[in-house]
Structure 1
Amino acid sequence: MRRHTIAPRPQWQRIVEEQGVVYPLTRHPDGVLRPYWDESAYYAFTLPEVEALEAVVEELHRLCLDAAAHMVAEDRFADLGITDRGLVARIVESWRRRDELPSLYGRFDLRYGGGAESGTAAESVKLLEYNADTPTSLVEAAAAQWFWLEDRFPSADQWNSLHDRLVARWREQAGLLPPGPVHFAHTQADEIGEDLMTVAYLRETAEQAGLETVALAVEDIGWDGLSERFVDEQLRFIRSCFKLYPWEWLATDAFGPHVLATLDNGGGTGSTCWIEPAWKMLLSNKALLAILWERNPGHPHLLPAYLDGPRELATGAGYVAKPLFGREGAGITVHEAVREPVPAVKPDGSAPEPPPAGSGAASAAPADSAEGTCYQQLAPLPVFDGNHVVLGAWVVGDEAAGLGIRESAGLVTDAYARFLPHIIV
């Protein structure tokens, strides 16, 4: 894994906007617009690296499904901050009928430094979190970076079978969908267009698979009190709906009781089949990280994580406090290990050297999250040319499908991160 600088293509902004990345710039707190899509550099991987990463991703996905089965069997929902027993019952039903329910994709966020670190890909990759419900950065990963590759390195390859796998996934699962069109819903709260374009892209993959589709906003979904069904703006029943809207919002908004009462979990007992299904709440919750570690202590691709506090991490490697339902880095605080205090005077009477920068205690107060907090071992992201790098490894169905890379100025990959393309050399 290497980072290389390169001159951006002429008119790069117009090019990527036409390809669906209508949000190529991000306004930072200082008011300045800076690139989100950043093709002033790219990352290069070897084929053995990618093959090793693929194997790790599929192993992590298998471990996550095992953890989900454990959560259901042992009723660990309180650990997930889910206390509504009606919602719990629907999640359990969804999990038990998962083979009858359409599900599409997810994204692992991984720490991996490649050639910048010792060890191989199979040894050094660590799971940071898993977004299995509403992952974004899909348009740039599946489409924009592929077109960039064709323009800049037409003889090279890329870890990117996302588009073909998504189309195939829709085709495979068409028989699980209720009759009628598949509705695709985004939220109007999205101000930059990322959710809108992610949903529009996924709708296109469904249409290429031969499905009839309808687009609408979550806020425009109606409730017909007479038939007790959700309807769209044309008053058509919504029998199936892909929603880029987190389940923890969907189930607890004002219309949440209607969602649960009419939830189609594959048994013909409801009227609306939501994609992703309700069981994905088991995998998109940060408590998953602690349960994974509990069930697989010492696993080479997992970081120690706990729900009852940082334990030994506070005086060991340090820790990161993550709200259970946090997204886009929101609410995350970084806590470096507490060090021994520096004596005022050395034994020889001279003044001591100042401690290294950042060697103090917590950098911020612990996350105050109403739903709970996961405390995960601090594993600072690798730095390439001054940039902190996280790999976003995609899963479609149960198979690894592609890679997206984001860089950030700090340790937390937040809304100000940048997306960079990659190649396989």
Structure 2
Amino acid sequence: MRRQASTPRDGWEKTIEAQGLAYHRSAHPVHLTRPYWDESVHYTFTMEEVLDLEGQVEELHGMCLEAVAHVVESGRHRDFAIPEWAVPEVTESWRRGDPHVYGRFDLRYDGTGPAKLLEYNADTPTSLVESSLIQWFWLKDAYPGDDQWNCLHERLVDRWRELPLQSGPAHFAWTNMDETGEEVMTLGYLQETAQQAGLTTVAVAMEDIGWDSRTLRFVDMEQRVIRTLCKLYPWEWAVADPFGPQAVAQQVSMTWVEPLWKMLLSNKALLAVLWEMYPGHPNLLPAYLDGPRDLPAHIEKPLLGREGASMRIVSPEGIQRTEGDYGAEGYVYQEFRALPDFDGWRPVLGAWVVGDEAAGLGIRETSGLITDDSSSFVPHRIVP
């Protein structure tokens, strides 16, 4: 794993916007001089490294599924701050095997040892457009003879074909709260992969989904019954909404992407459960729910936090924290191990899983210790 300088393409801004990264300006804090998409640098990997990482990612995914089974069978939902009234449906969603599509592991990796799991974005993962499309087109323009860890597009199309969906169009729902356009473009891309799989699709705003009290079904603005719903609206938000009970009760009559049981994978309490089940595993960092115990340095992560908000690092060097409104749901205490330093920048590897297979890689860099909305996305390639 190496970080290398590269020459940006002429007119790269218009190029990536035409390819779907329309939000690269709006989703990035305006005061930053470094752009969100930065092709002036990139990372290189050997094929041996990539194959090894693929194996580690698939092992981690399998361990996470075992952790869900453990939580369901042992009734540990309270550790995940799931409302008691929703627990039976979460349990049944898992036991039915409600189908899932994709997720993203965030990993610490420096090229010299096993990757370390930081968290699993398994319900509403983003940076999909840049991981699947934008960096692939960059590779074809800048290094046409090289390869990339990236079969996301093909795997997504194949996954839609595998799903046992009901008749009728599949709905892809964004929320009007999305001011940057990232959610709209991500769902638009997912919708495109579903169309390439042969599905009929409809785009809809979450706010335009209605409840038909006669048929007891969700409907769109054309009064069509929604039988498949792909969303980037987190389940913890959905269960807190006025129509949350109806959404939870619709698990049998609808296909949800992602399914309700993913509440257990997208919650950082998962990190502590994994450490309990697999203590000392080379891909895990020690993590606990009842406090930092004897960790010499630790990071406090809110169970439902996003974009690095509401975190606190406690180490012999002092305390660092990020602003945010998360934490009322509780925290997990994970060993703090600083991200590796490459020329003053610290990368996080976003390793994608589609179905149950590793499918690609996206990298975000930060100059600080916590990856947040100020971090930039940089491409990668595989070298001989």
Partner of 1:42: 42
RMSD: 1.6
Alpha-carbon distance in 2 for matches of 1:164, 1:412: 32
C-alpha spacing 1:107/1:29, structure 2 compared with 1 (3 Å): closer
Give the superposition deviation at 1:227.
1.8
2:368 to 405, 410, 413: 410
2:239 to 239, 248, 251: 251
Partner of 1:349: none
Aligned 1:229-248 pairs, distance under 5 A: 229-248=217-236
2:170 to 182, 197, 212: 182
Question: Residue 61 of structure 1 aligns to a residue in which SS?
Answer: helix
Give the superposition deviation at 1:177.
0.9
C-alpha spacing 1:156/1:334, structure 2 compared with 1 (3 Å): same
Question: Residue 294 of structure 1 aligns to a residue in which SS?
Answer: helix
> Could you give the per-residue CA deviations for residues 221-250 of structure 1, whole angstroms, max 9, x where no partner exists?
111122221110111111110111101111
> Could you give the per-residue CA deviations for residues 14-59 of structure 1, whole angstroms, max 9, x where no partner exists?
0000110012225766735641111110100001000110000001
Partner of 1:322: 301
C-alpha spacing 1:26/1:236, structure 2 compared with 1 (3 Å): closer
Give the superposition deviation at 1:365.
9.4
Aligned 1:143-182 pairs, distance under 5 A: 143-173=133-163, 176-182=164-170
C-alpha spacing 1:94/1:64, structure 2 compared with 1 (3 Å): same
The code of the aligned residue for 1:277 comes to: P
Partner of 2:114: 124
Number of residue pairs the alignment of both structures matches: 382
Give the superposition deviation at 1:370.
1.2
Alpha-carbon distance in 1 for matches of 2:329, 2:32: 34
The answer to whether residue 306 in structure 2 is matched with residue 293 in structure 1 is no
The answer to whether residue 52 in structure 2 is matched with residue 95 in structure 1 is no
Gaps of 5+ in 2: none
Q: Provide TM-score, normalisation by structure 1.
A: 0.87
CA contact (8 A) 2:28 2:373 kept: no
Question: Residue 71 of structure 2 aligns to a residue in which SS?
Answer: helix
Give the superposition deviation at 1:373.
0.3
Give the superposition deviation at 1:187.
1.3
CA contact (8 A) 1:26 1:34 kept: no
Aligned 1:249-398 pairs, distance under 5 A: 249-264=237-252, 271-313=253-295, 316=296, 318-337=297-316, 359-360=317-318, 362-364=319-321, 369-398=327-356
Partner of 1:226: 214
Alpha-carbon distance in 1 for matches of 2:6, 2:250: 53
Indicate the structure (1 or 2) with the bigger Cα radius of gyration: 1
Q: Provide TM-score, normalisation by structure 2.
A: 0.96
- List structure 1 segments (4+ residues) > 6 angstroms apart after TM superposition: 365-368
Gaps of 5+ in 1: 265-270, 338-358
Alpha-carbon distance in 2 for matches of 1:43, 1:190: 30
CA contact (8 A) 1:230 1:272 kept: no
Partner of 1:399: 357
